[in-house]
Amino acid sequence: MMLEMFKAKLHPLTVTQADLYYEGSITIDPELLEMAGIRVYEKVQVVNINNGSRLDTYTIPGKWGDREVCMNGPAARLTNVGDRIIVITYARMTEEEAREHKPKVVLLDGKNNPVKVMDESIAGFRYNPDDQLG
């Protein structure tokens, strides 16, 4: 039996741009994608903390190190610049693989700078990115 497991996430990102007329996807700084182990063109779920919307799309790379997060195409109607979002990926794995799997989580501040990278148990962990803004 194959299980669909939480693989990685960027939590939370701040949307810096929205481009309604682009053909679709989410543009993310490739440095952040690499930190989380999320591949360019990988399917992701985007969860909007501000309005509760959820959507599936795929990633495309922005410019390395610029911390850009741009919602493209129809997804731009569900997200405003300044909204906080969570980008999540999942992976199919066997029960044996799932027992050993540890998801990777990149925690970010309000300017999309990484604060902490976790690849261990995250059960019970509560994170408030506003604590990091100083």
- List, for residues 33-51, the tens digit of each pLDDT value: 999 999 999 999 999 999 9
Classify residue 109: in a domain, yes or no: yes
Place of tokens 């930190």: 35
Q: Which of 22, 25, 41, 90 is catalytic?
A: 25
Could you tell me the CATH number of the domain that includes residue 34? 2.40.40.20
Contacts of 126 (CB under 8 A, 6+ apart): none
Residue 27 has pLDDT above 60, yes or no: yes
**133 within some domain:** no
Structural domains of the chain, count: 1
Residue span of the structural domain in which 122 resides = 2-127
85 occurs within a structural domain: yes
58 is catalytic: yes
Examine residue 132 and state whether it is found in any structural domain, yes or no: no
Residues 105 and 9: beta-carbon distance below 8 Å: yes
pTM of the model: 0.89
Domain membership of residue 61 (yes or no) is yes
Q: Which of 22, 41, 58, 127 is catalytic?
A: 58
Active site residue 121: no
What's the pLDDT score for residue 61? 97
pLDDT band of residue 133 (cuts 50, 70, 90) is: very low
pLDDT at 132 over 60: no
